[in-house]
């Protein structure tokens, strides 16, 4: 059996063994997530790079990795593009969403996560694809290249996302949940991408605002708002923003007592008028807030950008219907 046929057969077996819940459709994809600033760079360059190459090319806008983990990760792994077999990993749980500066440990922070869902069969059918039995930062991690070694992976633990009972091997399950597929150096992303997943309409608008026209055309019908089985979505983020007269109505996913520095950048693109409003150390006490601006800043071509603790949270031109492209 050739490599492609083996992978197709293995995928069918996974779908049969995990025929309920989101693990069933997970078997169609491999997953890569990062902060929206990095995803914008990836999609516009059409390349997904290894950590070392992304840093060398200065393409990593937000380094959301845990320094304590990276320092113990096999140096060889930094030469690979890294994809997970499943979403909702323990690392994602700790990194996902806006965290106040006092709660960020070891630089691990992915404020606005975006997921790329890549074709399972096409990537694993590559002769240069490798895959791990679990967390490659672990000393006991096994990395394979022979496609038949897929049978050695413990998918009952790789796909395990339920509560870990006391009689279970927590260390093994946590290790397996981080199993990855590794591709040397770089990946031409548009050869494999199936979907781009975001959490909200606001984050979709932000992504579209920054994508070049080529990327937008290639991603027609592929950018989706979907949370179940992809995101934890347990920290606050912007759900939607509407402009009514001279008021922005900003809807958040939840309230929080944590405090953040907000900066609002408003631009009237018709006359080139700019306005910046800095609001330090505020908490989200209501799920919807109103941000009012002076009438002279309102136009048919008005842009709004919001940063939270210096991280991009939202950007959109309300005079250009970017969201209608898809």
List, as one string, the DSSP characters of 241-275. EEEETTEEEEEES--EEEEEEEEEEEEETTTTEEE
pLDDT at 325: 39
Cβ-count burial 161-199 (b if 16+ within 10 Å, e if not): beebeeeeeeeebbbbbbbbbbbeebbebeebbebbbbb
Please say if the pLDDT value at position 56 is more than 50: yes
Please say if the pLDDT value at position 267 is more than 90: yes
Higher-pLDDT residue of 51 and 251 is 251
The answer to whether 307 touches 206, Cβ cutoff 8 Å, is no
Please say if the pLDDT value at position 326 is more than 60: no
The domains of the chain, with CATH numbers, are 3-225 (no CATH), 238-324 (2.60.40)
| Whole-number Cα distances in Å, 25 to 34, 193, 241 | 21, 15, 31
The answer to whether 246 touches 298, Cβ cutoff 8 Å, is yes
The answer to whether 117 touches 83, Cβ cutoff 8 Å, is no
pLDDT at 320: 60
Say what angle helices 36-45 and 201-210 make with each other, to 10 degrees: 40
Number of neighbouring beta carbons within 10 Å of residue 217: 10
Please say if the pLDDT value at position 27 is more than 60: yes
pLDDT cut 90: percent of the chain above it: 78
pLDDT at 63: 53
Higher-pLDDT residue of 75 and 250 is 250
pLDDT tier, 300 (very low <50, low <70, confident <90, very high otherwise): confident
Q: What is the pLDDT of residues 73-112, one digit of tens each?
A: 556 678 999 999 999 999 999 999 999 998 998 778 999 9
Please say if the pLDDT value at position 324 is more than 50: no
Distance CA 176, CA 210 (A): 35
pLDDT at 61: 54
pLDDT at 321: 52
Helices (H), the chain: 3-17, 22-26, 36-45, 51-56, 67-70, 90-95, 120-124, 155-158, 170-177, 201-210, 213-218
pLDDT cut 70: percent of the chain above it: 92
Distance CA 136, CA 132 (A): 7
């Amino acid at each position: 059996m050739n490599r492609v046929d083996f992978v197709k057969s293995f995928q069918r077996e996974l779908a049969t063994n995990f025929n309920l819940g989101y693990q069933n459709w997970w078997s169609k994809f491999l997953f890569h997530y990062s902060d929206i600033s990095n995803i914008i760079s990836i999609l516009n360059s059409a390349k997904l790079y290894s950590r070392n190459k992304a840093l060398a090319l200065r393409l990593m806008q937000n380094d959301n990795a845990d320094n304590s983990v990276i320092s113990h990760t096999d140096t060889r792994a930094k030469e690979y593009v890294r994809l997970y077999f499943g979403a909702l990993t323990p690392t994602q749980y700790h990194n996902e969403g806006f965290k106040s500066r006092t709660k960020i440990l070891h630089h691990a922070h992915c404020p606005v996560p975006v997921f790329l869902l890549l074709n399972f069969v096409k990537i694993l059918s590559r002769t240069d694809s490798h895959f791990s039995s679990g967390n490659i930062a672990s000393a006991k991690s096994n990395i394979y290249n022979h496609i038949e070694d897929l049978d050695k992976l413990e998918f009952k633990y790789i796909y395990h996302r339920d509560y870990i009972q006391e009689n279970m091997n927590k260390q093994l399950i946590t290790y397996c949940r981080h199993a990855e597929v590794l591709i040397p150096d770089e990946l031409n992303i548009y050869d494999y991408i199936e979907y781009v997943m975001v959490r909200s309409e606001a984050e979709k608008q932000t992504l579209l605002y920054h994508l070049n026209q080529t990327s937008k055309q290639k991603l027609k019908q592929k950018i989706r708002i979907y949370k179940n089985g992809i995101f934890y979505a347990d920290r606050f983020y912007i759900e939607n923003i509407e402009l009514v007269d001279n008021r922005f109505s900003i809807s958040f996913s939840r309230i929080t007592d944590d405090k953040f520095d907000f900066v609002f950048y408003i631009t009237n693109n018709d006359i080139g008028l700019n306005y910046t409003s800095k609001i330090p150390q505020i908490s989200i006490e209501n799920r919807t807030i109103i941000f009012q601006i002076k009438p002279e800043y309102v136009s048919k071509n008005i842009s709004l950008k919001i940063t939270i603790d210096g991280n991009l949270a939202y950007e959109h031109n309300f005079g250009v219907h970017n969201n209608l492209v898809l």
